[in-house]
Amino acid sequence: MSEKLPPSIAHHSVLAATIPALVHRANNCLSVINGTLDMASGLTPEDRAVLDDENEALTGLLEHLAFQSRGDICEVGVIELHDLLSELEFILGIIGRFLHCEVEFRYFVTAATVQGDRARLYRLLVSLCSERLTAMAPLATGRGVPPTLRVCLSAPGARARLVLADTGGGLPGDLRLREAFQDEAGKLGELWGFELSSRAIGSAHAYLLSAPVLSASRPKAAVRKEAGRILLVQPAGVDAELNVAVLSEQGYRVEHRDSIDGSWRPDGFDLVLCDEELFDAIPISTPHVLVLGESAKGQGWALGAISKPIKPLVLLERVGKAIEG
């Protein structure tokens, strides 16, 4: 039988709707997947057959979770949530072959609150953000906002990276929390065959997992590393530092300006990454703009439906295409 959630966590009032919410979001995920595929022509008959089988398996798993969630939330365990993740990962991997999209799964962990036990991975929520197929589903847990463990699975044939930054509430500077993070990251690494490394990024502490993921019939298009200067306009803080660090690590020349400051200018940059509310402030002469808001304005190079904070691994291929024109 699958591992159970600690009772004191499982019966926490904030978590009472966790499993029903998971089922609801995953059902939405399934609807978006099917709707996207109905309009797509990039699937081979073999892929479509596999996808149909996976859809059936996913539907059965959702029904199983929905039935169990009607009773004690403890009846739904961590292993079953991992099963759901695996089904979604496989389906999204197939879709990624023709959408050239990137997928991010977020796990949420909480500080040690159960009789001094270490922090642990105890639940998973998956959702989609438009056709980007970007999984996200934050729910408040425990005390404050939990640190976020981001698992970024890039397009087929590329490499996966896990960034674990203790940027949330709870115990951001607590050594025990970092040790617990490293322990959880190590478990995920063993599960997926990732290699674990650790380093500081700005004021955050991150753990990186990397490994080849999801084989594909055609490789991901190479991204131009000499593409030009990128301006990231985002409130100053850990998220901006992390985004700059990851983009720079990928070979881009990126500079950050605090959007709260208001003194930034896009002159001389080949690409501007900004929040949606800043779009109107950017001169029309600016070559390319990627909007990082919740919805698209549909103007020029504005690409919406990218959740905040930005996910550089999601943007890399599109950044290259935008600059190349």
Distances (CA, A) of 146 to 112, 181, 287: 11, 12, 38
Higher pLDDT among residues 269 and 181, named by residue:
269
The model's pTM: 0.30
Taking residues 234-238, what's their average pLDDT? Answer: 72
Residue of 36, 25, 32, 26 lying closest to 57 (CA atoms): 26
Q: Check pLDDT > 60 for residue 52.
A: yes
Mean pLDDT of the region 52-64: 64
pLDDT at position 270:
67
241-298: per-residue pLDDT in tens?
A: 666 765 665 566 788 888 777 777 777 776 777 765 666 566 655 555 665 543 333 3
Q: According to the CATH classification, is domain 229-324 in 3.40.50.2300?
A: yes
| Residue in 173, 234, 229 with CA at minimum distance from that of residue 200 | 173
For the cut 70, the answer to whether the pLDDT of residue 134 exceeds it is: no
Q: Where in the chain is the domain with CATH 3.40.50.2300?
A: 229-324
